């Protein structure tokens, strides 16, 4: 673990903001435990993917500028999502022409931006967390974490250090769960079919809990499991790593007990 | 084939209702992915070869005019004839003219996606010439009256049992009994096809490559049907599109090393056949005439655009073999000649975006296609470029566009966004608290058709964070606080 105390700006992500704020607080707890000072820039809304992936480039560019300005002063930018971090890191620089002053700013931001678990492991040198969770956990790789951010080993390393937790590997971890942002609504039939295949392979591991680093996938997976009457619960990996897996899992009734946690 | 891409959503609903399709697609995905990975693992220089293959094609495309002329010059020197065809209609007319010159009653055909693209079989049939498909997969779909659902495995959407039933229904007239073993089914097809090779007046094949250095065409097959198709009749017609060109024999060998590995996981296809001109005086066999139909059909328009990279495609099928959308819906749902991720990019280029709007839009952008493409074609990036075109042309459904506009309006105004998201979090949080998830929700029918939508917790992160910051500040201001 390094000894400096860098300032990390949290990119909350619009889904965490709206659906599951506890993931944001869990991320802050983990970042502080890793020796970082955390700030939450106020001017953030969304990374712009809904527009970018729908062909609305002008609005994607406008939102990218907003994010670039809001996160300019900080040493690091961390998101509890490979998808939003991937948008900032891999796609923002492509939104601006070589002569646009925002090109260099976007490239600078890209260099400072990380997905949460890879930041903890690769940048902060974390190898374990102080958390306990009873049960078997299957980690779900999001496509953007896996392919855009090189994240797969880091969350598993940290989960393996959770007291009482056992990791299970699903077949075909590289296959998409079918979320795909607006795709999940625009092409709901296809998305739902993909989700069903993913939840089948996750359930086949026998794990009681699915953990993942991207709330979009997790809403999709939890929603499919719930519709099918499964008892498998779904949580963001940050909740488990921060020892914050109390209370209802994703899609569970609000008065449901926080299973798995002691 | 009839383009049904405009009815994509209905096609998808139909496809998802077919249990056999799910079985067949499951088999494809569970075998092709691992085979490709094993082949790649067995060749340490695989990724480097892919880079070389990409560079070869890029170089060719950057100098396409030169290589096309060089190819034609060489082809002529070997005694072959090149037919430049801008459109499918020109290509069909040229082929019909050649068939008539050969006084053809039947033509045998090796597998050719260009023949599918130009609708050759229907056209020949309509003109009194019987096309006989000799690739087993193509034979199956021809007697079933269907279109290919995969660019290298045209009948992959059918289970073995469906094929057994189909053969029994169509082969009774040859006095053949009901079969169930794949080997027996293949033997039946072979028995029926053998005499057709001999009787055919013209053999039509596709081309995996055209070589500028030698004027040769190359096909790769696993059944040997292509060789019989092109060497037994008195005329061999190659139908190819202009991006099949590569400069040299050496270049072909490089690209071949990644083709079969990416396609079927084989190190090499069973047959790799080079054809250079018609039969020469001292040749023992071969066609007396050799013609190449060179189709453009909009491809040259892609040169110099953001879609030029698509012309590197070598039709290995790795993108569809590894695509979760293709695995879910099969090839026919795309409603176009080319399917899967490569089809989602190529189809708008060939038929226009208005009729194929859904194809580049119906992707979760998982990125797997680009990852497995041996030619390093940035398929998601090009799908996104088509989405930008369809957004600009307002091709999508109006409610989707309004929702996007409302989102963008708020997302550019953080204070407004806070108010709206907090209101939504509270409203949905309250309504969803008891069950924790919604079975149905207005405007979210696409989602809730088969899944629940987990309910928000009830407050947004940003409002909770602000409250926490305020209470921390108050504590600090309290007298006696540290």
Band of pLDDT at residue A254, cut at 50, 70 and 90: confident
Within 110-129 of A, beta carbons closer than 8 Å to B belong to: none
Chain A interface includes B194 (CB < 8 A): no
Domains of chain B as residue ranges with CATH: 45-302 (3.40.50.10420), 403-477 (no CATH)
Within 324-353 of B, beta carbons closer than 8 Å to A belong to: 324-325, 327-329
Band of pLDDT at residue A246, cut at 50, 70 and 90: confident
Percent of chain B at pLDDT > 70 equals 99
CB contact (8 A) between residue A185 and residue B450: no
Helix (H) or strand (E) holding B35: helix B19-41
The pLDDT of residue A261 is 43
Residue A210 DSSP SS3:
strand
In angstroms, what separates the C-alpha of A86 from chain B's closest C-alpha?
A: 12
Region for B94 from its dihedrals, namely left if φ exceeds 0, alpha if ψ lies in -120 to 50, beta otherwise: alpha
B181 CA to centre of own chain: 29
Taking 60 as the threshold, does the pLDDT of residue A26 lie above it? Answer: yes
Taking 70 as the threshold, does the pLDDT of residue B58 lie above it? Answer: yes
Q: Out of B364, B417, B445, whose CB is closest to A179?
A: B364
Q: What rounded mean pLDDT belongs to chain A?
A: 95
Chain B interface includes A108 (CB < 8 A): no
Query: What CATH class has A127-241?
Result: alpha beta
CB contact (8 A) between residue A52 and residue B437: no
CB contact (8 A) between residue B436 and residue A248: yes
Within 127-146 of B, beta carbons closer than 8 Å to A belong to: none
pLDDT in tens, B347-377: 999 999 999 999 999 999 999 999 999 999 9
Domain boundaries of chain A, sorted by first residue: 7-122, 127-241
CB atoms within 10 A of CB B343: 25
Chain A interface includes B306 (CB < 8 A): no
B434, B459, B461: best to mutate for the A interface, most A CBs within 10 A:
B461
Residues of chain B found within 8 Å of residue A229, distances taken between Cβ atoms:
none
pLDDT in tens, B402-425: 999 999 999 999 999 999 999 999
Chain A interface includes B436 (CB < 8 A): yes
Chain A interface includes B16 (CB < 8 A): yes
* Alpha-helix residue ranges (DSSP H) falling in B120-209: 120-126, 136-144, 160-171, 182-199
The pLDDT of residue B461 is 98
Chain B interface includes A52 (CB < 8 A): yes
β-strands B437-438, B453-454: how paired?
Answer: antiparallel
- The reply to whether ipTM tops 0.90 is yes
Contacts of residue B383, Cβ cutoff 8 Å, sequence gap at least 6 = B341, B344, B345, B360, B361, B363, B365
- Which pTM value belongs to this model? 0.96
CB contact (8 A) between residue B329 and residue A190: yes
A48, A80, A191, A229: best to mutate for the B interface, most B CBs within 10 A:
A191
The pLDDT of residue B79 is 97
> Angle at which helices B182-199 and B160-171 pack, to 10 degrees?
50
CB contact (8 A) between residue B451 and residue A192: yes
Residue among A167, A252, A237 nearest A208 (CA): A167
In angstroms, what separates the C-alpha of A64 from chain B's closest C-alpha?
A: 10
Within 239-298 of B, beta carbons closer than 8 Å to A belong to: none
């Amino acid at each position: 673990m390094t000894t400096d105390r860098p300032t990390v700006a949290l990119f909350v992500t619009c889904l965490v903001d709206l659906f599951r704020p506890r993931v944001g607080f869990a991320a802050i707890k983990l970042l502080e435990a890793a020796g970082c000072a955390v700030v939450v820039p106020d001017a953030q809304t969304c990374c712009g993917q809904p527009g970018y992936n729908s062909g609305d480039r002008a609005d994607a560019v406008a939102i990218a500028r907003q994010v670039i300005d809001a996160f300019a002063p900080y040493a690091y930018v961390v998101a509890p999502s490979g998808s939003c971090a991937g948008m900032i890191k891999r796609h923002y620089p492509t939104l601006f022409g070589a002569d646009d002053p925002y090109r260099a700013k976007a490239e600078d931001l890209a260099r400072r931006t990380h997905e949460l678990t890879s930041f903890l492991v690769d940048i902060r040198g974390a190898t374990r967390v102080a958390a306990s969770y009873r049960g078997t956990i299957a980690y779900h790789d999001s496509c953007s974490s896996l392919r855009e951010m090189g994240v797969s080993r880091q969350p598993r390393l940290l989960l393996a250090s959770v007291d009482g937790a056992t990791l299970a590997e699903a077949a075909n971890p590289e296959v998409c769960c079918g979320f795909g942002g607006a795709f999940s609504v625009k092409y709901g039939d296809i998305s739902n079919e993909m989700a069903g295949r993913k939840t089948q392979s996750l359930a086949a591991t026998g794990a009681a809990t699915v953990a993942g680093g991207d709330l979009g996938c997790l809403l999709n997976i939890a929603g499919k499991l719930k519709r099918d009457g499964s008892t498998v619960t779904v949580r963001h990996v940050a909740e488990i790593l921060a020892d914050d897996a109390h209370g209802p899992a994703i899609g569970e009734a609000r008065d449901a007990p926080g299973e798995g946690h002691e | 084939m009839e383009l049904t891409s405009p009815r994509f959503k209905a096609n998808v609903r139909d496809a998802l209702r077919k249990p056999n399709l799910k079985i067949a697609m499951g088999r494809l995905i569970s075998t092709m992915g691992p085979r490709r990975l094993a082949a790649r693992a067995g060749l340490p220089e695989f990724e480097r070869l892919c880079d070389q293959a990409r560079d070869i094609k890029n170089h060719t495309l950057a100098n396409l005019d030169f290589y096309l002329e060089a190819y034609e010059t060489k082809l002529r020197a070997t005694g072959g004839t090149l037919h430049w065809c801008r459109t499918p209609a020109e290509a069909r007319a040229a082929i019909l003219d050649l068939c008539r010159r050969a006084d053809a009653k039947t033509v045998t055909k090796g597998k050719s996606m260009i023949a599918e693209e130009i609708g050759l079989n229907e056209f020949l049939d309509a003109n009194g010439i019987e096309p006989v498909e000799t690739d087993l997969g193509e034979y199956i779909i021809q007697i079933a009256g269907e279109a290919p659902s995969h660019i290298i495995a045209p009948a992959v959407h059918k289970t073995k049992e469906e094929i057994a039933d189909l053969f029994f229904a169509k082969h009774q007239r040859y006095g053949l009994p009901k079969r169930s073993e794949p080997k027996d089914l293949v033997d039946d097809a072979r028995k029926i096809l053998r005499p057709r090779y001999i009787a055919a007046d013209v053999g039509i094949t596709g081309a995996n490559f055209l070589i500028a250095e030698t004027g040769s065409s190359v096909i790769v097959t696993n059944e040997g049907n292509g060789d019989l198709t092109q060497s037994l009749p008195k005329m061999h017609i190659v139908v190819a599109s202009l991006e099949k060109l590569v400069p040299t024999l050496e270049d072909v060998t490089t690209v071949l090393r990644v083709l079969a590995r990416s396609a079927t996981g084989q190190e090499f296809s069973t047959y790799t056949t080079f054809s250079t001109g018609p039969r020469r005086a001292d040749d023992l066999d071969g066609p007396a005439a050799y013609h190449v139909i060179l189709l453009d059909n909009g491809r040259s328009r892609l040169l110099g655009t953001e879609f030029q990279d698509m012309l590197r495609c070598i039709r290995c099928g790795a993108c569809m073999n590894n695509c979760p959308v293709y695995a879910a819906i099969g090839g026919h749902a795309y409603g176009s000649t080319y399917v899967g991720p490569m089809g989602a990019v190529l189809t708008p280029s060939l038929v226009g975006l208005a009729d194929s709007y859904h194809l580049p839009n119906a992707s979760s952008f998982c990125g797997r296609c680009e990852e497995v493409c041996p030619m390093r074609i940035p398929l998601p990036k090009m799908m996104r470029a088509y989405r930008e075109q369809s957004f600009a042309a307002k091709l999508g459904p109006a409610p989707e566009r309004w929702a996007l506009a409302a989102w963008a309006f708020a997302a550019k105004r953080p204070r407004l966004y806070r108010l709206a998201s907090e209101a939504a979090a509270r409203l949905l949080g309250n309504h969803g608290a008891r069950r924790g998830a919604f079975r149905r929700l207005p405007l979210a029918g696409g989602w809730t058709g088969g899944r629940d939508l987990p309910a928000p917790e009830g407050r947004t992160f940003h409002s909770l964070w602000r409250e926490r910051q305020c209470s921390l500040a108050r504590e600090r201001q309290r007298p006696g606080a540290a």
